[in-house]
Chain A
Amino acid sequence: MTAVKQLVKGLAEQHGRNEESLLPILQGIVSQEQHISEDAMVEVARELNISAAQVYGTATFYSFLHTKPLGKFVIRVCKTITCMMHGKNQIIKELETVLKINLGETTHDGKFTLLETNCLGQCHKGPAMLINDKPYTQLTPEKVREIIMMYRHEEVRAN
């Protein structure tokens, strides 16, 4: 059995094989693989006995479900008004410099992807961003450099 098959089967067993489990299963795939491949979609359709088109329709609707490969750490910087007023452009610039990529891109080593997103519900502490599911608030360029350094170190240690 391929890794994707294994993963989807495990998720279907955990969440159940009904329509209500579709979103949790897709979320589970993203948290493991950072994106939902076509193979994974076909596999989910087979497990839940629904059409691949329905899986595709749902998977492409939600901004946190990606159908293209992303880095291991997905950085989402809030671009909504209060974060913008408090300097989110500077934060993006700093991230672009530190990661040597442009907004929307993934680093060559596949570690980081830099994206923008809408209001994160941290407006009183803007600028704010998420790295995977962890929020970081009251960002400054210095703070951003430290955070990225920390993630790089953790990576090294984990290996």
Chain B
Amino acid sequence: MKKKHLQRLDLIFKNEHDTEAILEKTFKRSNDDVINDLISSGLKGRGGAGFPTGLKWKLASEEETEVKYVICNADEGEPGTFKDREILSSVPHKVLAGMAVCARIIGAKKGFIYLRGEYLFLKPQLLEAIDKFHSLLDEMKVDFRVEIFLGSGAYICGEESALFESMEGKRGEPRNKPPFPTAQGYKDKPTVINNVETLAHTYSIFKYGPEKFRDLGIQDSRGSKVFSVSGDTPVPGIYELEFGMSLQKFVDDFADGDAKAVQVGGASGFCVPRKRFDKTVIGYQGKLRGTSLPTGGSMMIFNSSRSMYNVLHNYLDFFVEESCGQCTPCRVGTQQLLLGVEAVKKGEQPSSYLDKLMDLAEAMRITAKCGLGQSVANSFSSIVENFKEEMIY
């Protein structure tokens, strides 16, 4: 084994069962205190966008509406991500505890776990955990209930507003924003929607206090993060690591010694070539030096035997299928990018055509209605720029 640089953490997956104590403790405190703890912990959403969790709860708590909702986003559809499945199967009680505290703070009586259809096999054990949780709530005389809502195979339904549409029985087509979910979410009611991992982190923050969380990570990227590691690695799997790590260290620990690129953040994330491993930090964009990349936790490693054309082709194929088709830049753009790289590869278009395609991808970043279409350029431009020869020959 190589020398290990990165410390493996055991916060999220730690086998501990203190839901009752945590609920009692947080329910005794004022909403402001609990929210301030969350804010000072530095916790940001682990679903990809990185919105500060404490602030999200605060915004929803300030809405003066009787009916509000808490939703756990377990749609986990980003290629290369599988950590939420593991969290839900091994520590579902932590996610539920986080939902209960959130419900108390914002004033919600009902919560949902939006579980992707591909994870239907998890439903029985999850229902068991929910039953147990409901019994505890009954004992504590807490008026809150959680239901599972099952998805049906659509990546776009991970996008929060598409998820609400889907729950309302409609096609999973994203809405315009604003209004944001904290003002008008599910059934147009104020809704807090958080990623599975985000909710599980709140459990640790409530149990151990915000300092312990804040002590981990760097600058704008605090705490630990669960990474899904796949591709050319001898040790594929799920790892909890300190946020803000250098990509070089990650590669040293997890790649097979021959990594030529790492795709950070899945198909909608960025491709980092070997020459930039040491300049790249995994965390939210802030005052970091070098390049910092946010990630929902997907880390796909490619070694020198892989064709980056095939990688890009696979991602584009994914986007063409998963685009909801609602807005033209994304519906037509994804198809044109796919046809375009195929044409260059076959020699039907000159290599300069790639620049036009990159312009198209960048135009999608500005004109597409939701994060899906806006982020196609992330992988597209970073792969094409760094591996141009592979796109042509």
Contacts and interface: CB of A to CB of B under 8 A. Distances in A.
Question: Do A and B interact?
Answer: yes
Interface of A: 19-24, 26-27, 50, 54, 57-58, 61-65, 79-82, 84-85, 117-126, 130, 133-135
Contacts of A119: 77-81, 318
B237 interface: yes
A54 B169 CA distance: 9
Nearest to A84: B314
Contact of B121 (A26, A124, A125, A135): A135
Contact of A118 (B229, B238, B318): B318
Interface string B72-111: 0000111111101100000000000000000000000000
B284 interface: no
A121 B152 contact: no
A-B residue pairs, 9 tightest by C-beta: A22-B169, A64-B153, A124-B236, A62-B152, A63-B153, A133-B120, A123-B230, A61-B171, A19-B169
B159 to A, nearest CB: 14
B166 A23 contact: yes
B195 interface: no
A27 B118 contact: no
B238 A62 contact: no
18 contacts: A19-B169, A50-B169, A62-B117, A80-B318, A84-B314, A85-B231, A117-B153, A118-B318, A118-B322, A119-B79, A121-B77, A121-B116, A122-B82, A123-B81, A123-B230, A123-B236, A124-B229, A133-B121
Interface of B: 76-82, 84-85, 116-121, 149-155, 166-172, 187, 228-232, 236-238, 267, 300, 302, 306, 310-311, 314-315, 317-318, 321-322, 324
A119 B187 CA distance: 29
Contacts of B149: 23-24
Given A58-B169, A82-B231, A130-B118, A123 B152 contact: no
A62 B300 contact: no
A30 B269 CA distance: 34
A11 to B, nearest CB: 13
Contact of A63 (B152, B170, B237, B238): B152
Contacts of B169: 19-23, 50, 54, 58
A61 B228 contact: no
A80 B306 CA distance: 14
A61 B232 CA distance: 34
A80 B300 CA distance: 12
Contact of A24 (B150, B310, B315): B150
Contact of A64 (B152, B306, B324): B152
A81 B172 contact: no
A93 B276 CA distance: 38
B308 to A, nearest CB: 11
Contacts of B300: 81-82, 123
Nearest to B119: A121
Nearest to B78: A119
Contacts of B236: 123-125
A121 B154 contact: no
Nearest to A133: B120
Contacts of A61: 154, 171-172, 324
Nearest to A50: B169
A46 to B, nearest CB: 15
B56 to A, nearest CB: 23
A135 B311 CA distance: 24
B311 A65 contact: no
A118 B166 contact: no
B153 A121 contact: no
Given A19-B168, A20-B167, A123-B82, A62 B306 contact: no
| Most B Cβ at <10 Å: residue of A63, A81, A84, A117 | A81
Contacts of A21: 169
Nearest to B123: A133
B166 A80 contact: no
B303 to A, nearest CB: 10
Contacts of B116: 121
A124 B238 contact: yes
B153 A85 contact: no
Contacts of A24: 149-150
Contacts of A20: 167-169, 187
B36 to A, nearest CB: 35
A44 B82 CA distance: 34
Contacts of B232: 85
B130 to A, nearest CB: 16
Contacts of B314: 79-81, 84
Contacts of B311: 81
A64 B171 contact: no
